[in-house]
Amino acid sequence: MSTDASYLRNVNKEGLKRVIAALEQLEDKRLEASMLWNKKENCGCLLGAIYPDSPTMVSYSLVTSYCGRPEWVPEGRSALEAWGESMALSAKEAATLQAFNDSSYLSLGDRYTFVLASLKKAVSDDE
């Protein structure tokens, strides 16, 4: 997995714009890696930070792989599907975003800055 923003071309532009808007609204400008929600740090990964139920979920991710195909995790699947639709994201696109977030070895604050800038670049590259 590359931390190059070109990898984000696999995510539709409307979905990227909605994720950017949700990230910009966060009060806490930090992103965790490799776990949905970090109770000790009180922050989530890219998806965990913007999915409202993340702090109470048991899952470490919103997306899992079944026979090589990304799917929303069983825990709260119907709510995740509705949230995915509202964010214009498929489970596959959410998995791409999750993998992109987890690929950078940065501090929590630096990861937020890097991921947000990368998402914005991915949107602007095609406009």
Q: Domain residues of the chain, as ranges? A: 5-125
Q: Can you give the pLDDT at residue 66?
A: 85
Q: Can you give the pLDDT at residue 68?
A: 87
Contact 117, 10 (CB under 8 A): no
Closest CA to 36 of 71, 60, 72: 60
Residues 6+ positions from 93 with CB-CB distance below 8 Å: 10, 11, 12, 15
Q: Which residue has the tokens 């670049």?
A: 121
Q: Can you give the pLDDT at residue 1?
A: 40
For residue 2, the one-letter residue type is S
Q: Can you give the pLDDT at residue 104?
A: 84
C-alpha 110/C-alpha 89 separation (Å) is: 25
Low-confidence ranges of the chain (pLDDT < 70): 1-5, 126-127
